[in-house]
């Protein structure tokens, strides 16, 4: 009994250590960044597009917020379509032996460093976009494609696990009633695995909006509101990464405030996705 209590206490301390570490990081970011937001005003920070911390003492991040959202949405559209498609093919139409080979291979792609994806985007994708679509090539579209490919293994792997977790009786019952394999996959299996697929989208979205290195290499890093997907853009993460080394004073606090904004955006998107997922699960059970 004493040994079990000791083990439980040790595990509790380890759990609290992880949680407290995350809480301290969050508290530090908010302490460093929030005062500047209140000092310069919400409108001057969130609704302004002028970012000139040295010359004009202006800290507007609206262009970077919109740029981050555009790149993330584009990446998730690509990753969702191809990731869910790959998951359906692997679980519903491929032999099990082939799945046992392809699924680990797809998961290995998640371990490739982001700088490699960025380099491939600069060498291959940027010239193609520049030649056939116009613009500088370093743009929202290029960043979205690169991020979509980076997020693809995460979305595919978790979606495969979610589809494989659906009871086999669902598939057999649908086939017995005369549905085709595609109808069964679309109307039965995907709906039954909806919560897991949404979780895959949430994890992919978190990685996409927080990615830095690949976006620095292919997005163009222009602090403007993009009018099309062929315009260059700068995201919140790239602004922090590029300027933190030499920032000081209010400039440094503005970058921490940018991190606070990124933190809040991720929390809002995750909350919306989880709420939608839970409502759909309740409706399907009801």
Encode 94-108: b = buried (16+ Cβ within 10 Å), e = exposed: beeeebeebbeebee
Is the model's pLDDT at 245 over the cut of 90? no
Which 3 state secondary structure label does DSSP give 52? strand
Mean pLDDT of the 215-224 span? 88
Count the domains in the chain: 2
Is the model's pLDDT at 238 over the cut of 80? yes
Note whether 26 and 114 are same-domain residues: no
Note whether 116 and 166 are same-domain residues: yes
Cβ-based burial of 154 (10 A; exposed 0-12, middle 13-18, buried ≥19): buried
Note whether 46 and 183 are same-domain residues: no
Is the model's pLDDT at 9 over the cut of 60? yes
Residue 243 lies in a domain: yes
Note whether 265 and 237 are same-domain residues: yes
Torsion of Cα atoms, 274 then 206 then 267 then 31, to 10°: 160
**Cβ–Cβ under 8 Å, residues 183 and 191:** no
Is the model's pLDDT at 284 over the cut of 60? no
Q: pTM for the whole thing? A: 0.85
Note whether 45 and 83 are same-domain residues: no
Distances (CA, A) of 64 to 16, 261, 269: 35, 11, 17
What confidence score (pLDDT) does residue 77 get? 92
Domain that holds residue 176: 63-285
With residue 182 as reference, give the H or E element that holds it.
Answer: helix 181-184
Note whether 123 and 184 are same-domain residues: yes
Give the chain's length. Answer: 286
Note whether 170 and 254 are same-domain residues: yes
Note whether 207 and 262 are same-domain residues: yes
Note whether 18 and 139 are same-domain residues: no
**Sheet strands (E) in the chain:** 51-52, 58-59
Note whether 14 and 133 are same-domain residues: no
Which 3 state secondary structure label does DSSP give 51? strand
Query: What CATH number is attached to the domain comprising 87?
Result: 1.10.3720.10
d(CA 184, CA 173) in angstroms, rounded, equals 9
Where a domain ends, among 51, 71, 86? 51
Residues in a beta bridge with 58: 52
Q: Render pLDDT for 99-148 as a digit per residue (tens, 0 to 9).
A: 888 888 888 888 888 889 999 999 999 999 999 888 888 999 999 999 99
């Amino acid at each position: 009994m004493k040994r079990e209590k000791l083990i439980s206490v040790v595990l509790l301390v380890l759990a609290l250590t992880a949680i407290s570490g995350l809480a301290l990081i969050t508290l530090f970011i908010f302490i460093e960044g929030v005062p500047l937001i209140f000092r310069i005003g919400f409108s001057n920070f969130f609704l302004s597009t002028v970012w000139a911390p040295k010359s004009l003492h202006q800290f507007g991040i609206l262009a970077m917020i919109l740029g981050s959202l555009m790149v993330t949405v584009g990446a998730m559209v690509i990753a969702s379509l191809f990731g869910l498609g790959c998951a359906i093919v692997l679980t519903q139409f491929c032999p099990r032996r082939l799945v046992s080979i392809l699924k680990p291979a797809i998961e290995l792609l998640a371990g490739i460093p982001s700088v490699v994806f960025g380099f491939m985007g600069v060498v291959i994708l940027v010239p193609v976009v520049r030649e056939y679509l116009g613009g500088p090539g370093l743009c929202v579209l290029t960043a979205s494609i690169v991020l979509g490919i980076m997020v693809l293994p995460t979305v595919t792997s978790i979606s495969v696990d979610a589809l494989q977790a659906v009871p086999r009786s669902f598939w057999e019952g649908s086939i017995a009633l005369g549905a085709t394999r595609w109808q069964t996959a679309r109307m039965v299996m995907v709906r039954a695995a909806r919560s897991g697929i949404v979780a895959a989208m949430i994890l992919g979205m978190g990685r996409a909006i927080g990615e830095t290195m690949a976006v620095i290499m292919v997005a163009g890093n222009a602090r403007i509101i993009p009018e099309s997907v062929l315009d260059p853009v700068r995201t919140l993460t790239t602004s922090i990464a590029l300027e933190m080394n030499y920032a000081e004073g209010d400039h440094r606090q503005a970058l921490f405030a940018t991190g606070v904004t990124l933190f809040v955006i991720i929390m809002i998107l995750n909350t919306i996705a989880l709420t939608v997922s839970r409502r759909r699960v309740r409706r399907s059970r009801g």
